[in-house]
Structures are given as structure tokens and as C-alpha cells.
């Protein structure tokens, strides 16, 4: 049975993105636009996890969290534009399990949601742990990569880079995005460091690095793992 | 001290005498008549000035001191005592001067040292540092000026930080939406279609608008927004604003009325900026009034000023809300919930533009009626703020 996630945010476009990502990850999603409705939904929908924006009309996220905590132990995750440390501490003191600041990556949000569910309910990860492209197999749990059954020796950066691209074959990634994914932060001007990682990766996993089968270059954009385009 | 010494020398000077002797050395005239007739002694002769007429010596002139011996015992004691007292007085005076200068130096140096330390602290970033006020009047004045400066610096810094925090906060939501949508389309979680691209595009428009508004507000707050002022007829301002807004009001199903008192004097303003003020107020009214409601733009004159009132039949503001209505990034809750755009800077900019023109703006609110009223000086008139006390509000 899939877990049910309640999302409360007054910005409808943000709600749409979060809903799309959570559904894509296999969750049931209920969305509301303010704190009062969130409280109501906690009572009637019995969600397994609640994602709360802080600045909402009718009732803000702090107040909603306080009232939810009075009657439920449901895991809470704050999603907010308030970045002050004092705010984060206050949020965690109310009994929130996580605090994510905007602007956030929806993919990171989904990963945090999975982590909380694993911690609270002992859910086995619903996230796939193995990806396969042609003869290339990446296993995230054992942290190994094999090509045609032969184990490849990758650095941590190379492994992360390969995992990001193998998770979405056919999807184009810019250098900036890849840098952001493997380092957690990206600064303009450093995108070319990705080229070095890609060159090393190709040397390890391509039969002919000058004529790559797996990691394709998309001129003027970035790189892509061969596979179905989306 | 000097006076004492002078008096002492005066006492000695009384011992001077002048003798006039003839060629033989017999005194013929003297300051002391008792000496007349006596011969000059050798000592006196050696100091005598010979008097000569046509080469022949005719007599002697002697200027001489009478000598200590000439003083009586009482006078001598008196002189000695005077000298002693003078020495003592001089010593005491020196001691007093040293003591006084030490006290004065401490009174000056202490507060000045404190000021120096505090200045270094402020230079080091501890804005708002205050010093204890004390010491001579000039030092007190300096300390007070320092405290005021330090306080103002801290205020300015706090304002700057709050502004930066506000801006960062306002950027977070559009950037979140933009990032979420673009990532979702790249990941294939949302379809890459016109609707989703339009949402992303809207966020970039919103961001660009925010950047423009911030620049305008910053310039206006710093008083560095140039105004091209000229006499403008209030009717012309109203006509232009109404023409611009009539289609929007029609579209929203809101009645847009206007009413201009006859014979108004021209106002001395930058017409484009005042159009911006009217536009912001009308756009704000349109955001808060429901379909079937009404927006009215009225103009009248009072005491050398022209007032413009933009009223709407929206839900109204309570006094707590009215107090914040000109704060940047403040939005009434219904405006936030209805997702009705706006950078949250419109009214802050409006206020600054009116103030730049030497005018005043305020809000009057009651349930189901909110009016923004601003006054502008007429051409040739003085700034309204300069007149001091707030005059009664113009009639509605």
C-alpha cells in the first residue's frame, strides 16, 4: 500500500510540482492551500507524512504544526522561505522532523520524504537501487558498477555522476546541473570541471572512449546517458 | 605673582636719589634736602656724571641707590617677609596649577579616551556603540554627537539587512516555482507543454518586475530619482489614468468612476511619475475589489494643495493592517491567497514618489470601503510637509 502525503502550500504552482514528484515516486498525495485545511486534512485523511509551508493564509505553518502535534505523531516536514537559524530551531522544537528551505530541488524533497518514512515506519526504500543501461549495471546499495559482468573502479564523484545520468537515460543534463548534483552547490565558471570527470568516466566504461556508446555529448548543452529519450 | 614682584621693586626704588654737585663736589641740590652742602664721597664721585658747559666742568650729577643700609630694620624685615611670602605663594601657585591641570586633563582625557575606544569599535563594525556622556560641555556635546551618529549607523545597517533579508525572501518563492517546474519538465515528471512553460515564464516576468521595482524603490528612498517637474492639470492626469484602466476594470467586472472638481490649479509634478502613482493605486484597488464592486477616483483642492482619492469597495483594512500598508513586501491576506501577482512593492514605491514630490499619502479604511488619498503641492506652492502640522483631511 502506498503512503499518503499531505502537502500544504499557498503557492499553487509549487504545489503542482511537489505533487507531480511525489506521485512519480509512488505516493498518494493530498494538497491544501492553508494551515486550517491542513489541520482538517490531518484529521480526515490520516496522512503518513505532512509537508507544511510556513507562510500561509488563514493559519500559518507554525500554528498548524502545533495543533497537529496535539493530536497526532505524524511526521512533519517544513518547507519554507524562512532561512533564519532561529526559525529552523523553532520549527524543529515544535516537533518537525525536517526543515527544507526554498528554493529547493523537488528531487531532494522526495529523497528526504523517503528518508523520514524509512526512519519512522521502517519502510524499505521504494527507490530503485539498481540501474541498467546496455551492459552497464550500477548498484547504489553495494556502490558497485559493472560492465558486462566486469567490476569497474570508480571515484566517488564519478560514481555519483554516473548514478545521476543512469537514473534518467535519455535526459540531457547541463554541466551546471551535474555539478550541482554531485557537489550540492554549483558556481558559474566551474562547469568545465565536469568535462574532466566525464573524460575519466568514459576512459573507464567505454570500449572506445573516442566513440562513446554510453555517455553521449549533446553539443552546446551537456551530456546524456544513452537510452530512451523522454 | 608678577604684581607682587612689581610692588617689591617699587619699594626698593624709593631708595633712589639724585644729587647735583658743583665743580668742587659740594652737593647743591638733592632729593634728600639733608644732603645739601655735604661733599660727594669717593664712591659717589666714581659714579657721578660730569656736567660740562663749553668744555669746562661745571658740576656733577649723581644717581645713586641709597643702599640696603639705608633701610630701617622694620623695612628690612618687611622686605624679607614679603620675599618669603612671595616664594611660598609662587610654590603654592605652581602646585595648584599642576593639580588643576591634572584634574582638567583627566576630565578631558577620560571621556576622550572612551570616545576613541568607541570610535575604534564602530570602525571595527560594532555599530550602535554608545559612550557615557560626561565631562566639560564641549566633550558632552561631542559624546552626544557620537552617540547619535553611532545609533544612526546601526539603524541604517539594520534597515539594509532587513531589506536584504526581505529581498532574499521574496526571491525564494518565484525561484522555487521556476526551479521546480523546469526540473520537473526535464525529469519528465511534468509534461513539457505550453501551460507548464507559461508558468515558468510568468515567474521570470515576476522576477524581472521585482528587480525593476527594487531599483526604483531604492533610488526613490535615497532621494536620487530625478523628477522632471512641470505644471500639469489634474484633469489631464485623471483622464490618462482612467483611459488606461477602463479596459482592466471592464474585464474584472468592476465599475470605474471618476470625478474632478472644476477649476483646479495645475500641480507641479513629474507627470509620468504621478501616472505611476495613480496606476499603482488603481491596480491595488482592482486587486481588492470583487466583481460587481466599484473603484472611484476623485480629485479636489484644499488649502493650496490638490488631493487625489482612489477608493474601492473591497473588504477594507483593520487599523493594524492599515499601519503596514506602505511597508515593502507587505500584502493583505486576501491578496496573497488570491495569487494576484504584485511585487509587494507597489504601495511602498507610491509612497516614496508622493513624498519625493513634497506631497503626503495616507489610507482611510472602513469595512467595505478603502481609500488611498494623496496630496500634491500646486504649481508655485511650497512643499506640504514643510507646513508642519497635519491639516484636516480633505472631504471624501
For B295-347, the pLDDT digits (tens) are 999 999 988 889 999 998 888 788 877 888 888 777 765 554 444 556 778 88
| Beta-carbon separation of B175 and A103 below 8 A | yes
* Residues A66-99 pLDDT 10s: 999 998 889 999 988 877 778 778 888 888 888 8
CB neighbours of residue A85 within 10 Å: 7
Q: What is the CATH number of domain B137-221?
A: 1.10.287.130
Stretch A165-194: mean pLDDT:
82
Contacts of B48 (CB under 8 A, 6+ apart): B21, B40, B60, B61, B62
Distance from CA of A190 to the nearest CA of B (A): 20
Domain with CATH 3.40.50.2300 in chain A: 4-121
pLDDT confidence of residue B337: 43
For an interface test with B, the pick among A63, A102, A167, A222 (most B C-beta atoms closer than 10 Å) comes out as: A102
Chain B residues inside the 8 Å CB shell of A10: 336-337, 339
* Residue spans in chain A of domains classed CATH 1.10.10.10: 130-225
Q: Which pLDDT belongs to residue B41?
A: 79
- What is the full per-residue pLDDT of chain B (396 aa) written as tens digits? 444 444 444 443 445 678 888 888 888 888 777 778 888 777 777 878 888 888 888 888 887 665 545 667 888 889 999 999 999 999 999 999 999 988 888 878 888 888 889 899 988 888 888 888 877 888 888 889 999 999 988 888 887 887 777 787 788 888 988 999 999 998 888 999 998 999 899 889 888 888 888 888 888 888 888 888 889 999 999 999 999 888 888 888 899 999 999 888 889 899 999 999 999 999 888 888 888 889 999 999 988 889 999 998 888 788 877 888 888 777 765 554 444 556 778 888 899 999 999 899 999 888 888 899 999 888 765 555 544 434 444 444
Chain A residues with CB under 8 Å of a chain B CB are 10-14, 16-18, 20-21, 24, 33-34, 57-58, 81-83, 101-107, 168, 171-172, 177, 230
A4-121: which CATH topology?
A: Rossmann fold (3.40.50)
Q: What is the mean pLDDT of chain A?
A: 87
All CATH 3.30.565.10 domain ranges in chain B, comma separated = 230-387
What is residue B70's predicted lDDT score, i.e. its pLDDT? 61
Residues above pLDDT 90, as percent of chain A = 35
Q: Where are the alpha helices (DSSP H) in chain B?
A: 2-13, 42-47, 73-123, 137-187, 194-221, 234-252, 271-288, 319-324, 333-337, 346-356
Asked if residue A26 has pLDDT above 80, the reply is yes
Average pLDDT in the A189-198 region? 82
Q: Which of B168, B173, B183, B192 to mutate to test the interface with A (most CBs of A within 10 A)?
A: B173
Whether residue B180 and residue A13 make contact (CB cut-off 8 A), yes or no, is: yes
Q: With contacts defined as CB-CB under 8 Å, which chain A residues touch B172? A: 81, 83, 101-103
This model's pTM is above 0.80: no
**Residues A14, A6: Cα–Cα separation, whole Å:** 14
Which residue carries 539594520 as its cell?
B158
Residue of B172, B184, B339 with shortest CB distance to A103:
B172
- A36 class by beta-carbon count within 10 Å (0-12 exposed, 13-18 middle, 19+ buried): middle
Do residue B188 and residue A171 have CB atoms under 8 angstroms apart? yes
Cell of B317: 483594512
Banded model confidence at residue A19, pLDDT cuts 50, 70, 90 = very high
Q: What is residue A77's predicted lDDT score, i.e. its pLDDT?
A: 93
CB contacts of A102 in chain B (<8 Å) are: 172-173, 175-176
Q: What is the CATH number of domain A130-225?
A: 1.10.10.10
Question: What's the sign of the alpha-carbon dihedral B338, B344, B346, B352?
Answer: positive
What is the pLDDT, as a whole number, of residue B346?
A: 84
Min distance B152 CA to chain A CA atoms (Å): 25
d(CA B13, CA A61): 103
Q: What pLDDT does A165 receive?
A: 92
Within chain A, where are the H helices?
A: 12-24, 35-45, 61-71, 85-94, 106-121, 156-166, 175-183, 193-205
- Residues of chain B whose beta carbon is less than 8 angstroms from a beta carbon of chain A are 168-169, 172-173, 175-181, 183-184, 186-190, 199, 203, 333-334, 336-337, 339
In CATH, the number for domain B230-387 is 3.30.565.10
More confident residue, B45 or A44: A44
Contact B190 A102 (CB under 8 A): no
Amino acid at each position: 500500500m502506498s503512503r499518503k502525503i499531505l502537502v500544504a502550500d499557498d503557492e499553487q504552482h509549487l504545489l503542482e510540482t511537489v505533487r507531480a514528484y511525489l506521485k512519480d515516486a509512488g505516493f498518494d498525495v493530498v494538497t491544501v492551500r492553508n494551515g486550517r485545511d491542513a489541520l482538517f486534512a490531518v484529521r480526515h485523511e490520516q496522512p503518513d507524512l505532512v509537508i507544511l509551508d510556513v507562510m500561509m493564509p488563514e493559519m500559518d505553518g507554525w500554528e498548524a504544526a502545533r495543533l497537529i502535534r496535539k493530536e497526532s505523531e505524524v511526521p512533519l516536514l517544513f518547507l519554507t522561505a524562512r532561512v533564519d537559524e532561529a526559525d529552523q530551531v523553532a520549527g524543529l522544537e515544535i516537533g518537525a522532523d525536517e526543515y527544507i528551505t526554498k528554493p529547493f530541488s523537488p528531487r531532494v524533497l522526495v529523497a528526504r520524504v523517503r528518508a523520514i518514512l524509512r526512519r519512522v515506519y521502517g519502510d524499505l526504500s521504494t527507490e530503485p537501487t539498481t540501474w541498467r543501461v546496455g551492459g552497464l549495471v550500477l548498484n547504489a546499495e553495494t556502490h558497485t558498477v559493472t560492465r558486462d559482468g566486469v567490476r569497474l573502479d570508480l571515484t566517488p564523484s564519478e560514481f555519483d555522476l554516473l548514478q545521476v545520468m543512469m537514473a534518467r537515460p535519455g535526459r540531457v543534463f547541463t554541466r551546471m546541473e551535474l555539478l550541482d548534483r554531485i557537489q550540492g552547490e554549483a558556481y558559474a565558471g566551474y562547469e568545465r570541471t565536469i568535462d574532466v570527470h566525464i573524460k575519466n568516466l568514459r576512459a573507464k566504461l567505454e570500449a572506445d572512449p573516442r566513440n562513446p556508446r554510453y555517455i553521449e555529448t549533446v553539443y552546446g548543452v551537456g551530456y546524456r546517458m544513452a537510452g530512451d529519450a523522454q | 605673582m608678577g604684581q607682587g614682584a612689581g610692588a617689591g621693586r617699587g619699594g626698593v626704588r624709593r631708595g633712589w636719589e639724585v644729587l647735583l654737585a658743583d665743580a668742587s663736589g659740594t652737593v647743591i641740590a638733592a632729593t634728600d634736602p639733608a644732603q645739601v652742602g655735604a661733599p660727594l664721597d669717593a664712591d659717589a664721585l666714581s659714579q657721578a656724571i660730569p656736567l660740562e658747559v663749553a668744555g669746562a666742568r661745571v658740576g656733577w650729577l649723581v644717581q645713586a641707590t641709597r643702599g640696603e643700609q639705608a633701610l630701617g630694620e622694620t623695612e628690612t624685615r618687611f622686605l624679607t617677609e614679603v620675599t618669603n611670602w612671595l616664594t611660598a605663594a609662587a610654590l603654592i601657585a605652581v602646585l595648584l596649577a599642576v593639580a588643576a591641570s591634572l584634574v582638567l586633563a583627566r576630565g578631558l582625557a577620560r571621556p576622550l579616551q572612551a570616545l576613541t575606544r568607541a570610535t575604534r569599535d564602530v570602525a571595527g563594525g560594532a555599530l550602535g556603540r554608545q559612550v557615557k556622556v560626561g565631562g566639560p560641555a564641549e566633550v558632552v556635546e561631542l559624546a552626544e554627537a557620537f552617540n547619535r551618529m553611532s545609533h544612526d549607523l546601526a539603524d541604517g545597517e539594520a534597515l539594509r539587512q532587513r531589506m536584504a533579508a526581505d529581498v532574499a525572501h521574496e526571491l525564494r518563492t518565484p525561484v522555487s516555482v521556476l526551479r521546480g517546474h523546469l526540473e520537473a519538465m526535464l525529469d519528465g515528471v511534468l509534461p513539457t507543454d505550453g501551460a507548464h512553460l507559461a508558468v515558468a515564464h510568468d515567474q521570470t516576468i515576476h522576477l524581472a518586475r521585482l528587480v525593476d521595482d527594487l531599483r526604483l524603490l531604492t533610488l526613490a528612498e535615497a532621494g536620487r530619482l530625478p523628477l522632471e517637474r512641470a505644471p500639469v492639470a489634474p484633469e489631464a492626469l485623471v483622464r490618462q489614468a482612467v483611459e488606461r484602466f477602463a479596459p482592466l476594470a471592464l474585464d474584472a467586472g468592476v465599475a470605474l468612476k471618476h470625478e474632478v472638481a472644476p477649476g483646479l490649479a495645475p500641480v507641479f509634478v513629474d507627470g509620468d511619475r504621478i501616472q505611476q502613482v495613480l496606476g499603482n493605486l488603481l491596480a491595488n484597488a482592482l486587486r481588492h475589489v470583487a466583481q460587481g464592486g466599484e473603484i472611484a477616483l476623485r480629485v479636489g483642492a484644499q488649502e493650496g494643495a490638490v488631493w487625489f482619492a482612489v477608493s474601492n469597495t473591497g473588504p477594507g483594512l483593520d487599523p493594524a493592517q492599515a499601519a503596514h500598508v506602505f511597508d515593502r513586501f507587505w500584502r493583505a491576506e486576501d491578496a496573497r491567497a488570491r495569487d494576484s501577482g504584485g511585487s509587494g512593492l507597489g504601495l511602498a514605491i507610491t509612497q516614496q514618489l508622493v513624498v519625493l514630490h513634497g506631497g503626503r499619502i495616507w489610507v482611510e479604511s472602513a469595512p467595505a470601503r478603502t481609500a488611498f488619498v494623496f496630496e500634491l503641492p500646486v504649481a508655485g506652492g511650497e512643499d506640504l510637509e514643510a507646513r508642519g502640522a497635519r491639516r484636516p483631511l480633505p472631504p471624501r
